[in-house]
Structure 1
């Protein structure tokens, strides 16, 4: 039986899961819901913590985005077997979560003055974060991959930042982030992302566009 993935019609916290399922060529239904349908899922008791994404599989309703990603990673061979590589993968996923938290905190702040401050802090922090990611990839045995010598869930997590935010012209901060992430300043990261984009190209060119995040 295939999977059913429930989430809103945005990239958001489901896109890493969509990346993995497409890369694995797994059969799945991409169910894009609205607020009314979210309420129905809650009423049916299918959302343990009241949130999406939710993955329906074998009669189970799996929630929490990174936990779903790890679950699928283990099922489809995208999660390491050694504790050292598992740490390397999970620490990169945590780094992606750091980015998402800072980005969304800034973008969704309602107080305009506070929002300006948070955006400035995010833009000052972003180059440091990008440099750290490039350093990690450069240190890997094969810099075409984030960890080890094959795709892991870390690659799909990093793809979220690359293809949903930094290289997404619909992103609210695209104009501000573009000068901070020039390809010529990050050659290792550029080569890595070029290969990753090629592997995800079919999905990236066919997914609903544009979405701001």
Structure 2
């Protein structure tokens, strides 16, 4: 199996959401449906000295995230009908629409809440745009849409070798299910900070 995955460079991502918008359009989604989310992290503060002059330690950075095509996907483990499966050739996690009953246990099980219920009442998710490729090879629209090239896609082993200083987790995005994602860390990532848009990305749980 050649496991595919993403590299996300949070040091250059501007949070413009072109990746998210291109994914939204390509998959004909409707608000509030989304297959890709842009997480905003921030921290620091403004302080005043004795003379009343202000200085800032505030910082903000962004992380674009979609389904991690995890090594140990909670959606697959908890799907009551076995509709969620991990492809043996690409490592892609996908949903069999003929078996899915739309219970959304997959979404509730996923630490990132990525499976989404569409108008047909069934669960849908990122399939790395493999469904439009002539030979079924993944070719994600989000990567092509990023204006600053903060996203890369390919065999995860190659991405990890190319970015040896990358991290498997960032902020509230844990690596508990083994997502095939490498994060290039923002210079302020080590300062901590908190997720600033939990409602937008559905992380209020």
TM normalised by structure 1 equals 0.24
| Structure having the larger proportion of residues in helix | 1
TM normalised by structure 2 equals 0.25
| Structure having the larger proportion of residues in strand | 2
Tell me which of the two structures has the higher relative contact order, counting C-alpha pairs closer than 8 angstroms and 6 or more residues apart: 2
